């Protein structure tokens, strides 16, 4: 149990606490921001729909918790101009981090250049201190070689993080996809040791045991000193409560796991 408590302590500060429910309200956002600073420490960020960014920024002022939002979400469309405009508005509203859904259907169809261009164009409008997390939607890409190729495209186009999933499809984060993506990050690190590229599993991660499995995988591939909030995040809505329950010795109730 002590090992799981240590894992929970480690994982709590890596959580992107998420509400991307279609029926999310301003009251839900206030509830979400109210959970970010706990007796056991703060989460890394919250991740919300673009329409709630300004509210979240106001409510989190002074906490140190970042505000992330999603663009081209959840379907990964191909109207790059709209995605860039959506990104600019989110930044004007105060977003610190942008989680961009890669046009994964176009990628599977072989349109690598188009996908790369969209990521580059979004990257270009981000200030230096804003993070770009690129969502591959690995459960829809499916093929391991294509997942690896998608990770490489995102990294080459300027992603600061690569993220498994939107949480909106049948298959979201898996350890198999995580291993492929972390391997791509490790390969990129060998090519350019100065560049920092992070990893974010999202969708279906609900328990301290789930978190432990992903952290162990990252430790094995990237080394024990690699994981931090600048290199690793969990995209989840229910995980925080499970981690707190573990830290407080309670039985956790599974929540959602975007």
Annotation marks residue 105 as catalytic: no
Is residue 144 within 8 Å of residue 178, measured between CB atoms? no
> Which candidate in 16, 163, 210, 241 is catalytic?
163
- 2-247, what's its fold? TIM Barrel (3.20.20)
Q: Average pLDDT for residues 201-223, to the nearest whole number?
A: 97
Q: Average pLDDT for residues 206-233, to the nearest whole number?
A: 98
The pLDDT tens digits for 102-137 are 999 999 999 999 999 999 999 999 999 999 999 999
Is residue 141 within 8 Å of residue 132, measured between CB atoms? no
> Which candidate in 99, 160, 210, 241 is catalytic?
99
CA dihedral 134, 168, 247, 200 (to 10 degrees): -10
Percent of the chain with pLDDT over 70: 97
Residue 163 has pLDDT above 90, yes or no: yes
Annotation marks residue 250 as catalytic: no
Look up the pTM and report it.
0.96
Q: How far apart are CA 226 and CA 39, in angstroms?
A: 25
Annotation marks residue 99 as catalytic: yes
Kindly list the strands in the beta sheet with 66-71, ordered across the sheet, starting from the edge strand earlier in the chain. 198-200, 161-163, 131-135, 97-101, 66-71, 45-48, 15-19, 234-236
pLDDT of residue 252: 52
> Tokens in use for 29?
């956002």
pLDDT of residue 2: 82
Q: Where are the beta strands (DSSP E) in the chain?
A: 15-19, 37-38, 41-42, 45-48, 66-71, 97-101, 131-135, 161-163, 198-200, 234-236
């Amino acid at each position: 149990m002590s090992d799981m408590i240590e894992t929970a302590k480690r994982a709590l500060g890596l959580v992107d606490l998420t509400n991307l429910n279609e029926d999310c309200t301003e009251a839900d956002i206030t509830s979400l921001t109210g959970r970010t600073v706990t007796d056991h420490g703060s989460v890394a960020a919250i991740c919300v729909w673009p329409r709630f960014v300004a509210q979240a920024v106001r409510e989190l002022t002074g906490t140190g918790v970042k505000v992330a939002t999603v663009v081209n979400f959840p379907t990964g469309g191909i109207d790059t101009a709209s995605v860039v405009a959506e990104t600019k508005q989110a930044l004007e509203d105060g977003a610190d981090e942008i989680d961009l859904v890669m046009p994964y259907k176009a990628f599977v169809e072989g349109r690598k250049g188009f996908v790369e261009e969209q990521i580059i164009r979004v990257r270009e409008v981000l200030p230096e201190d804003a993070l770009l997390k690129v969502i591959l939607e690995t459960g829809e890409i499916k093929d391991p070689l294509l997942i690896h190729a998608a990770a490489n495209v995102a990294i080459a186009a300027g992603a600061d993080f690569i993220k498994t999933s939107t949480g909106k499809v049948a298959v979201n984060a898996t350890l198999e996809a995580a291993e492929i993506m972390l391997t791509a990050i490790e390969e990129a690190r060998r090519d350019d040791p100065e560049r920092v590229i992070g990893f974010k599993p999202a969708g279906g991660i609900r328990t301290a045991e789930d978190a432990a499995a992903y952290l162990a995988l990252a430790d094995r591939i990237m080394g024990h000193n690699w994981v931090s909030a600048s290199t690793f995040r969990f995209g989840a809505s229910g995980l925080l409560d499970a981690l707190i329950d573990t830290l407080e010795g309670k039985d956790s109730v599974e929540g959602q796991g975007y």
